[in-house]
């Protein structure tokens, strides 16, 4: 179900909102990664995410219609989270954001193949993808000289982009049959038990130190908010367009750096941010 052409693309606006929530989440993940591994963060953040998602989903019931598609979403989503949280330990947020921007391109290529001709990406979206990628390049330019030091972590980030593309395709398909709050709730429940099983099987299950409970709660809260908005966006709009809104993530990351870490951005942020904002506004207000 896609929105008809109109003045304001609510689906794109929701996609941008999810990018903001996920940016804050990643900042908190980096704090947790000082001592916790990726699977531990995925598991324990659900103690906040499950109740929040459950309260939102309770109104309309908890039944999932497309169970097989949801299972695909769960497996691919869990794999993407493990790869992304692992990469977050060894890569600067800017480098991680740039590699992750490969995901919208992969999604734009795969969506027509798996979801049908209605998902075909037009020239406007391809132009937005190109402008967004260029803008991201400017935003992360100061970090690129140290990119080679990322090594294995860059490969984890690439894995996250591939798995996330498949997970987002499943989300778009689920949006045709199931309500976003229900999808998010069962996803949180699923990853809680899958991550817990992995920790138990590897002998790594433990209660995190109390100093990490607050950032873990933040990871759970903002992850849930981001997933709710992202899932609702995929219900309203084509997969490639929603994915393209993630190009705003490096801009939000730069703003977090200024607000929290007092990092003054250079000219690259001004140029890249302008391109990213222009791309985002095109998605929100485009007519076709």
Mean pLDDT score, 30-46: 92
Residue-wise pLDDT tens digits, 102-111: 777 777 667 6
35-44, 112-121, 156-165, 233-242: least confident range: 112-121
The pTM of this model reads: 0.75
**Quick check: 34 pLDDT over 60?**
yes
Task: State the average pLDDT for the chain.
Answer: 80
pLDDT value at position 183? Answer: 93
Q: How confident is the model at residue 7 (pLDDT cuts 50, 70, 90)?
A: very low
Query: Tens digits of per-residue pLDDT, 63-87?
Result: 999 999 999 999 999 999 999 999 8
Instruction: Report the pLDDT value the prediction gives residue 268, as an integer from 0 to 100.
Output: 63
pLDDT above 80 for 239: no
The 10s digit of each residue's pLDDT in 267-278 is: 666 676 677 667
Where is pLDDT greater, at 66 or 10? Answer: 66
Count of residues making up the chain: 288
Output the pLDDT for position 171.
Answer: 86
State yes or no: pLDDT of 288 exceeds 50.
no
Q: Which residue has the higher pLDDT, 1 or 55?
A: 55
pLDDT by residue (tens digit) across 113-145? 666 666 666 777 777 777 767 776 675 665 555
**Rounded average pLDDT over 45-61:** 90
| C-alpha–C-alpha distance, residues 43 and 53, integer Å | 15
- Please say if the pLDDT value at position 50 is more than 60: yes
């Amino acid at each position: 179900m896609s929105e008809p052409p109109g003045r304001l693309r609510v689906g794109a606006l929701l996609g941008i909102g999810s990018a903001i929530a996920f940016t804050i989440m990643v900042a908190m993940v980096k704090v947790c990664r000082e001592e916790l591994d990726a699977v531990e963060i995925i598991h324990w953040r659900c103690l906040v995410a499950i109740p929040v998602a459950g309260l939102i989903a309770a109104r309309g019931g908890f039944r999932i219609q497309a169970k097989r598609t949801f299972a695909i979403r769960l497996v691919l989503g869990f794999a993407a989270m493990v790869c992304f949280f692992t990469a977050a330990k060894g890569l600067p947020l800017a480098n991680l954001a740039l590699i992750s921007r490969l995901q919208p391109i992969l999604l734009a290529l795969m969506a027509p193949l798996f979801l049908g001709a209605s998902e075909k990406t037009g020239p406007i979206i391809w132009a937005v993808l190109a402008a967004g990628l260029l803008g991201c390049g400017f935003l992360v330019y100061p970090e690129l000289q140290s990119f080679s030091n990322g090594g294995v972590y860059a490969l984890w980030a690439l894995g996250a982009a591939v798995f996330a593309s498949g997970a987002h395709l499943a989300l778009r398909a689920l949006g045709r049959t199931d309500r976003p709050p229900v999808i998010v709730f069962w996803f949180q429940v699923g990853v809680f038990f899958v991550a817990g099983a992995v920790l138990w099987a590897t002998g790594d299950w433990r209660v995190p130190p109390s100093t990490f409970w607050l950032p873990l709660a933040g990871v759970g809260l903002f992850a849930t908010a981001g997933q709710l908005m992202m899932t609702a966006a995929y219900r309203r709009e084509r997969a490639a367009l929603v994915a393209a809104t993630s190009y705003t993530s490096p801009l939000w990351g730069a703003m977090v750096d200024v607000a929290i870490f007092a990092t003054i951005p250079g000219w690259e942020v001004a140029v890249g941010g302008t391109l990213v904002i222009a791309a985002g506004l095109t998605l929100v207000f485009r007519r076709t």
